[in-house]
Amino acid sequence: MMAYRTVPAEMRVKKIIHMLLHIIAIVMGIIGLCAVFRYHNMINLGDMYSLHSWIGLTTFILYCLQWLVGFLVFMVGRSSVTKERMIGWHMVAGRALLFMSICAALTGLMEKAQFLGLKYQHEARLVNFLGLSILLFGVFVDLSIVYGRYI
> What would the pLDDT profile of 73-82 be if each residue is shown by its tens digit?
999 877 899 9
Spatial CB neighbours of 9, under 8 Å, sequence gap ≥ 6: 17
What's the start-to-end Cα distance of the chain, in Å?
15
Distance of CA 114 to the CA centre of its chain: 24
For residues 131 and 126, give the distance between their C-alpha atoms in angstroms, rounded to a whole number. 8
Question: Which of the listed CATH numbers 1.20.120.1770, 1.10.287.3610, 1.10.10.10, 3.40.50.300 matches domain 2-150?
Answer: 1.20.120.1770
The mean pLDDT value for 97-104 works out to 98
C-alpha distance from residue 13 to each of 19, 134, 145 (Å)? 10, 29, 19
The DSSP string of 10-45 is: -HHHHHHHHHHHHHHHHHHHHHHHHHHHHHHHHTT-
Assign 151 a pLDDT band (cuts: 50, 70, 90).
Answer: low
| Sequence-ordered alpha helix ranges (H) in the chain | 2-6, 11-42, 51-70, 80-116, 122-146
Average pLDDT across the chain, whole number: 92
Write the single-letter amino acid at 32. Answer: G
> What would the pLDDT profile of 22-52 be if each residue is shown by its tens digit?
999 999 999 999 999 999 999 999 999 999 9
Distance of CA 71 to the CA centre of its chain: 17
pTM of the model: 0.90
Assign 103 a pLDDT band (cuts: 50, 70, 90).
Answer: very high
- pLDDT reported for residue 1: 66
DSSP state of 149: G
